[in-house]
Amino acid sequence: MPHPLDSFFAPSSIALIGASRDHEKIPGRLLSMLRKNEFPGRLYPVNPNYGDIDGLKCFPSIADVGQPIDLAIIVIPARAVFGALEQCAAAGVRNAVIISSGFAEEGGDSAAMQQAIVALARKAGMRISGPNAEGFYSEIQRVAATFSPTVDVKPGELRLVATKKRIGIVAQSGGIGFAFYHRARALGIALSYVVSAGNESDLGAGEFFEYMVQDPSTDVILLFLEGIRDVDQFLAAARRAAETGKPVIVTKVGRSGAGERAAASHTASMAGWSAAYDAVFARYGFIISNDLDEAVTIAAVLTTNPLPKGDRVAVLTVSGGAGIWGADTVAMQGLQVPELSTPIQQEIGKLLPSYGSARNPIDVTAQGVTSGGLQNSIDLLAASDEVDAILVVLSLSSETRMPFKEAELKPVISAQHKPIVFYSYTLPSRFARTELAASGVVVLSGLTHVGVALRQIRARAKFALARPAKGDALASRDLSAHLTSAAMSEFDSKSLLRAAGIALAEEALVTEKSALDAAIARAGFPLVMKIQSPDIPHKSEVGGVRVNINTKGEAFIAYQALLDNARKHRPDAAIQGVLVGPMAKKGVEIIIGTMRDATFGPMVMVGLGGITTELFRDVVYRPAPVSAGEAATMLSELKAAPLLRGFRGAAGTDVAALCDLIEQVSLLAARLRHDVAEIELNPVLVHPQGQGVTVVDALVVRKG
């Protein structure tokens, strides 16, 4: 079934509004790029100042063309753009790319002009990219709707193509999007599309992303993001990419903003500038890269290799030192470089000179290249069950000699039994790149990036999309009675949690000393007593907590001390009373929290809890709600995960009960997204397996 954006990315006719004969200016370069790339459709230059441009008839206006037009490229002064779009709408133009700048990025009246464009797009049903865009490039359809010099065609230049699989690029920066393409092209990676989203007046990064996900000619997607505007489309595309197994590599910029948050909870204060983005990326298995060359290297590995079945890497080299370096790099990425079994070593040893090494890393030496040892070792390792990936480390600087024969190398690469990655420690020659491209090999020249790529494809191989959480449990519960106060104490917060079905210890709020005896009898010794006030979220900071109380005398003294401390440190605070409850059994301290992100809505966080929460910042985020299964994945990503499994002889903890609690809290955050800004349970004590969890303290922060 045709996609609505097919006519955008593969137009049969293009009108260039503002076309020029001057190839030094952007309007002239746009027309030149379309023609140099041999756009197969019809081209209609539009400019009242010319009768023709470079042999093409030029029209005074879009209305004078008189033919169906799939795409209009607009590059005229900002003040004239809206009128041109109205003419396009009247002429039935289906899509437009506005290259012109001077709109929302300038603010004021210019922003109002962009809003008018949005209204026109909706009214006319025309799809509009930009303004302030660098256009797009469709490699298969030869549509160079951009002025980027990266798509220029030089006479006699032979294109290097090593991959059958293609990458698609969506960028919220035209320059960076085409930079990805430029570097990928230099390595021989084939492309489907690269598109610059511009100001996203109508078409946004999410919708372009969705197109790449459903496009059969796009095998790997690269995203360069500043911020998502069309969130629903983006998330739908992310889920579909995960469901269909299409890898997504993402770079998110804007991570260093010094945004300050006046937060009562640890959850919000610990959230990084882009914690919510990272949470979304983690849910859908995106590969995060913060380096341009690294991202392209990962794309190269994904477009030339299958995913590995394990983490065992064989390092095969012609230089002992380079091989050790390669092995170190792989090991530092958390992958294994196992010593090979005696039978494999004996087989490889037959192929090597006496001074070579059949262990791992395997040094075939320079002589092993000419004797066939290198190729034969690759054949043996590709068929072996002892390794899951092969890293070939060699020198490819020669302009005349090749270490492989295409007839021998191509079959083992095409078989795709396991990843075989090629790294040259000398700068690879054009000759070597071209010769190896014929076998489907991309030559890489950044060792650290290669190591990261191997780690990332291993992580990608293990990724599984979590089942969504079920929200039925809260549907029938009326929680409004527990959301009456603007600020909430621990007592108020726990009342809400209980109403939501979350199991908590029995506690009593004591407002008069005379009621203390009954509360003690109900809770039993040992006791914990805490001051309660919506104005004191962090009770320990004002001496508002007493623990391990074992007698009535201690309880009565503690009661008065708690009240006195609160009045001393916070004389203006509204005191509700003292919360009296049983001391919890020992357990691993975990924090569960939620926060509301402006882009993606409620987020749930888990981490190492207690008073060291902000010190270690060992936390993991996901969009709420999460299922118990996804909660288990979050817990496995914590550095503190061994504490839950049983560390140094300790008993394993009740992780299942903890996962259920995380799911419940996340469902509550999603249900109350319009009323609650933050929820924090800290600490949650996780007891030995089968003994459940205890929520020691809780705080709910209403949305301001």
Judged by average pLDDT, the poorest of 92-101, 317-326, 642-651 is 642-651
What does the pLDDT read at residue 475? 72
What integer is the mean pLDDT of 340-353?
Answer: 93
Residue in 147, 149, 141, 201 with CA at minimum distance from that of residue 168: 141
Taking only the tens place, the pLDDT of each residue in 665-699 is 999 999 999 999 999 999 999 999 999 999 999 99
Average pLDDT over residues 639-660: 89
Of 171-185, 538-552, 604-618, the least confident? 604-618
The pLDDT value given to residue 155:
86
As given in the structure block, the two tokens for residue 691 are 């003994």
pLDDT band at 107 (very low <50, low <70, confident <90, very high): confident
Q: Which CATH class is domain 1-134?
A: alpha beta
192 three-state secondary structure: strand
| Mean pLDDT in residue range 161-185 | 96
Residues in the chain: 704
pLDDT confidence of residue 262: 40
Task: Give the range with max mean pLDDT: 413-417, 478-482, 700-704.
Answer: 413-417
Token pair 């809400």: residue: 496
Q: Is the pLDDT assigned to residue 258 strictly greater than 50?
A: no
State which amino acid sits at residue 365. T
pTM for this entry: 0.93
Give the pLDDT mean for 137-153: 96
**What is the domain class of 306-462 according to CATH?**
alpha beta
Residue ranges of the chain assigned to CATH 3.30.470.20: 588-702
Average pLDDT over the chain, rounded to whole? Answer: 93
Q: What is the mean pLDDT of residues 640-660?
A: 89
Q: Tell which wins on pLDDT, 193 or 648.
A: 193
Q: Where in the chain is the domain with CATH 3.40.50.261?
A: 154-304, 306-462
Q: Which two tokens stand for residue 246?
A: 């299409």
Residues forming CATH 3.40.50.720 domain(s) in the chain? 1-134
Which CB contacts under 8 angstroms, 24+ apart, belong to 368-376?
368/318, 369/318, 369/394, 369/403, 373/348, 374/316, 374/318, 374/403, 374/404, 375/403, 375/404, 375/405, 375/408, 375/409, 376/351
Closest CA to 209 of 181, 175, 249: 249
What is the third-level CATH fold of 506-583? Dna Ligase; domain 1 (3.30.1490)
On the question of pLDDT at 194 being above 80, the answer is yes
Tell me how far the alpha carbon of residue 258 is from its chain's centroid.
Answer: 21
Query: Residue type at 588?
Result: V
In the chain, % helix, strand, coil (3-state, to 5) comes to: 40, 20, 40
CATH of span 588-702: 3.30.470.20
Task: Give the pLDDT confidence score for residue 156 in this predicted structure.
Answer: 84
User: CATH 3.30.1490.20 in the chain, residues?
Assistant: 506-583
Stretch 461-475: mean pLDDT: 86
Q: Is the pLDDT of residue 25 over 50?
A: yes
Band of pLDDT at residue 257, cut at 50, 70 and 90: low
CATH code that applies to domain 154-304:
3.40.50.261
**pLDDT for position 46:** 98
Assess contact for 589 and 683: CB atoms under 8 A. Answer: yes
